[in-house]
Amino acid sequence: MKYDFMRDAIEMHVHTAPDVSSRKCTDIELMERLRTAGLGGALIKYHYGETAGRAALLRELCPELKLAGGITLNRAVGGINASAVEACGKLGGRFVWFPTMDALKYQEFQKKTERRQICKSASIFWMCRKS
């Protein structure tokens, strides 16, 4: 490894294929790249679903890596959805991202003509409490 301080580091945000968008590598290729680079693991993110199951399969193939997944609360999983978060957690999910592609501000930034607001009130944050 060229930089020893990177040994066993965790990549905290990586998008892999399969995905609806083109990605530079698949889950399997990511695993191989991490091993080759001497990194310790990665957090896999997908804007339209959960990645906990994918991370679990990768951990079976390469138990020495720390691989984690989570869920992004866009409309594809029902938006702000406690049931989806709970199911992802049961799959081993460790991270939850609030809406990204379906966030109203992102839609405005992209100048989308059809905008849908996922939540109109800040009162949804009761679901985020520690249980």
CATH number of this structure's domain 4-128, picked from the four choices 3.40.50, 3.90.1200, 2.60.40, 2.40.50: 3.40.50
At 40-99, the pLDDT tens digits run 999 999 999 999 999 999 999 999 999 999 999 999 999 988 999 999 999 999 999 999
The type of residue at 50 is: E
Angle value at C-alpha 14, between 11 and 15, nearest 5 degrees = 170
43 DSSP β-pair partners: 68
Per the CB < 8 A criterion, the answer to whether 67 and 92 are in contact is no
| Mode of pairing for the β-strands spanning 70-72 and 95-97 | parallel
Ordered by start, the domain boundaries in the chain are 4-128
Q: CA 130 to CA 70: how far, in whole Å?
A: 17
Q: How far is CA 79 from the centre of its chain?
A: 15
**pLDDT for 131:** 46
At 5-36, the pLDDT tens digits run 888 999 999 999 999 999 999 999 999 999 99
